Amino acid sequence: MPPLKLITVSNMTYINVLTVCELLETIKKQYLDTPIALVMETMHATSIVRW
């Protein structure tokens, strides 16, 4: 299993759908054919996204 890696994007305001899309595009470029699992946490809920 490859080591875990933290990938971040940031902006000067707040996180919105465009920020999430930017993060997903960044991840996609680094892991083109590799199955990955994302854990996305907010103050209100935690979501697990797989693709």
Each residue's pLDDT expressed in tens, for the chain with a length of 51 residues = 667 788 888 778 877 888 888 988 998 898 888 887 777 766 555 555 565
Q: How far is CA 40 from CA 17, 18, in A?
A: 13, 15
The answer to the question of residue 35 being in a domain is: yes
pLDDT (0 to 100) of residue 45 = 52
Its domain, for residue 37, covers 17-50
The answer to the question of residue 7 being in a domain is: no
Q: How many domains in the chain?
A: 1
Is-contact 23 9, C-beta < 8 A? yes
The answer to the question of residue 8 being in a domain is: no
Which residue(s) pair with 41 in the sheet?
46
pLDDT (0 to 100) of residue 50 = 60
The answer to the question of residue 28 being in a domain is: yes
The answer to the question of residue 10 being in a domain is: no
pLDDT (0 to 100) of residue 19 = 86
Tokens 């996305």 locate to 40
Quote the CA–CA distance of 45 and 34 in Å, as a whole number.
26
pLDDT (0 to 100) of residue 46 = 54
